[in-house]
């Protein structure tokens, strides 16, 4: 196993079930329709990292029994991707252990504004988060993995996806929040084995792809497998998953993907 990816969450910004919503999906029993906010944990033989730390980060770590995170990388600074940031503190309890935080300069600025107590150096108590900001300006490495940022369009905020590449193979692209994949990013996706992409619902949305838009990207890239994420309660897994083309499925919390 060279890389394993675990979906910590596959839900839209308010999660599924939605507070106060009585729809069949929100009130239904299927665990595949219980969606915490979007995040993935990636384990390689050398190192482990998380992509985004949304509001459910603690619950996700407990559910997945996550004991090791060596770095955190971020797609963008929307609330459903960052408000769990401070809970990374449990992974920097050791003295002198700083957590590398990889994000665009705009996203780092938002994290520093929100979590000023962690970044300002004035609170070096044992148990407090000790972040080490690392601005993303292009591909970077975590252990033996090359991580290439993919600029995408997603409303007003600077947003990126990531390609994870090992031994020259593009194992996986992760693009959880996206309305349009820009041409250079489409070219970078060429040859990727696995595509994980924003597919909110059927109805169009101003800042997220719907199923039709996500399928258009899938048809152009032709990955071996495609997984939809960032799913809203309009989508019932048991009903919608069987209707997708071969090789395309709806991800769900806890799903693991592995590459040899």
The residue from 2, 4, 47, 87 that contacts its own copies (CB under 8 A) is: 87
Give the distance from CA 210 to its chain's centroid.
17
- Which stretch in 62-70, 165-173, 191-199, 226-234 sits in contact with its own copies by CB under 8 A? 62-70
Q: Which is nearer to its own copies, 127 or 242 (CB)?
A: 127
Could you tell me the smallest distance in angstroms from the CB atom of residue 214 to its own copies? 22
Could you tell me the smallest distance in angstroms from the CB atom of residue 135 to its own copies? 21
Cα separation, 256 vs 212, whole angstroms:
25
10 Å CB burial of residue 248 (0-12, 13-18, 19+) is buried
Could you tell me the smallest distance in angstroms from the CB atom of residue 186 to its own copies? 28
Could you tell me the smallest distance in angstroms from the CB atom of residue 204 to its own copies? 15
Sequential DSSP letters for 120-180: SSS---TTS--EEEEE-SS-EEETTEEEEEEEEEBTBS-EEEEEEEETTEEEEEEE-S-SE
The residue from 84, 131, 161, 223 that contacts its own copies (CB under 8 A) is: 84
Q: Which is nearer to its own copies, 67 or 224 (CB)?
A: 67
The residue from 7, 9, 15, 160 that contacts its own copies (CB under 8 A) is: 15
């Amino acid at each position: 196993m060279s890389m394993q990816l675990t979906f910590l969450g596959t839900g839209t910004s308010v999660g599924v079930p939605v507070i106060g919503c009585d729809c069949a999906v929100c009130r239904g029993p299927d665990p595949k329709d219980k969606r915490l906010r979007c995040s993935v944990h990636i384990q390689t033989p050398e190192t482990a990292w998380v992509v985004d730390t949304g509001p459910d980060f603690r619950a996700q770590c407990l559910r997945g029994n996550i004991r090791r995170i060596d770095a955190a990388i971020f797609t963008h600074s929307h609330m459903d991707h960052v408000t769990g940031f401070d809970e990374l503190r449990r992974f920097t309890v050791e003295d002198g252990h700083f957590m590398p935080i990889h994000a665009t300069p705009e996203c780092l600025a938002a994290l520093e504004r929100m979590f000023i107590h962690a970044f300002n150096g004035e609170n070096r108590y044992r148990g407090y988060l000790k972040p080490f900001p690392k601005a993303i300006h292009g591909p970077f490495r975590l252990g033996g993995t090359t991580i290439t940022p993919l600029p995408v369009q997603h409303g007003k905020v600077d947003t990126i996806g990531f390609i994870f590449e090992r031994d020259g193979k593009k194992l996986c692209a992760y693009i959880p929040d996206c309305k349009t994949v820009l041409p250079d990013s489409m070219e970078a996706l060429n040859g990727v084995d696995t595509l994980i992409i924003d597919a909110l619902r059927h109805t169009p949305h101003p800042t997220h792809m719907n199923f039709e838009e996500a399928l258009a990207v899938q048809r152009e890239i032709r990955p071996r497998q495609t997984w939809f994420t960032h799913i809203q309660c309009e989508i019932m897994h048991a009903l919608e998953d069987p209707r997708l083309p071969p090789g395309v499925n709806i991800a769900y919390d806890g799903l693991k993907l592995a590459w040899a």
